[in-house]
Amino acid sequence: MSQSVKEALRLNYNSESKVPKYLKIRSSIRSIIEQGLVRENEVLPTESELCEIFEVSRMTVRQALDELVREGFLERQSGSGTFVKTLRLKGRLRTIQSFSGELALMGKSTSTKLIGVDVVQPDEEIFNKLQLSGKMKALQIRRIRYVDEEPIAYQNSYLPFPLLESLLHENLNHWSLYDLLQEKYKLTMSHGIENIQAIVMPRSIAPYLQCLPEAACFHVSRLSFVKEYETPIEYVETILRGDKFVFTNELSY
């Protein structure tokens, strides 16, 4: 264990606080993980070393580690120690960004696999959300989104077909849809309405994301608008793996 990690652990531990010791240890360890001082899949200091750093009993250290294991930050490997688990990706609730743009801010590499692009007669719900009229059809785009080559999200987008007919001929494996709309079609994203719901993984989606049916996941639906049109430009439903994503919202008081 490096001296810098020891110093950071001590620095993040407030011995004067009346908070229970195991919670202060939990907070200190979580801080060094979030700061990147101990990275994903790297081993944490041993229980003996942590006892020495925080001047507490082994039972107190184990209680703190148990909390972090339950929260998904750590995992124990018999005979090898306690490791930092692959961390969940963070989505910010109050921004409108492309999926790839959001993850690029975290230093993650993203890629897309296009499942299909079709012209469809949308059902009544989507027809109304996009404020279509008459017999207008929608362009349906289905994609799997990858982060560091691991499938994270399944996206099903609907856009008004008459406005964006030429999207049928675009390379949507290469382009971010929002980047394409802004750079090539000169549309300016203005605002959106987003809903997030915790659900179980649909059986039809699970194979795409390489996870078990009925695993925990997020269903995120978003209606997006551009400045150039009064009606919505896109309605998208995204299934996000619950074991790989956590949403964070910044609050001010």
DSSP string, 117-132: EEEE---HHHHHHTT-
3-state secondary structure of 199: strand
The list of the chain residues with pLDDT below 70 reads: 1-2, 86-109, 247-253
In a shared domain, residues 62 and 113: no
In a domain, 253, yes or no: no
In a shared domain, residues 20 and 74: yes
In a shared domain, residues 49 and 133: no
pLDDT at residue 223 in the model? 92
In a shared domain, residues 33 and 125: no
pLDDT at residue 139 in the model? 94
In 48-162, which ranges are E strands?
Answer: 74-77, 81-84, 89-92, 110-120, 138-147, 150-160
3-state secondary structure of 164: coil
Quote the domain boundaries for residue 14: 3-84
The distance in angstroms from the start CA to the end CA of the chain is 39
CATH number at residue 52: 1.10.10.10
In a domain, 115, yes or no: yes
In a shared domain, residues 75 and 134: no
pLDDT in tens, 122-152: 999 999 999 998 889 999 999 998 887 889 9
User: Which two three-digit tokens encode residue 114?
Assistant: 């296009």
Q: Which of 84, 101, 124 is the last residue of a domain?
A: 84
In a domain, 130, yes or no: yes
In a domain, 185, yes or no: yes
Domain count, the chain: 2
CA 21 – CA 242 distance, rounded (Å): 30
- Burial label for 69, CB within 10 Å (0-12, 13-18, 19+), is middle
In a shared domain, residues 42 and 133: no
Q: Helices 3-11 and 47-54, interaxial angle, to 10°?
A: 50
Q: Which of 84, 99, 115 is the last residue of a domain?
A: 84
CA 56 – CA 140 distance, rounded (Å): 58
In a shared domain, residues 105 and 216: yes
In a shared domain, residues 15 and 126: no
Global pTM value: 0.61
Residues 6+ apart with CB under 8 A from 6: 45, 49, 53
* Cβ–Cβ < 8 Å for 20, 63: no
Q: Which of 28, 51, 84 is the last residue of a domain?
A: 84
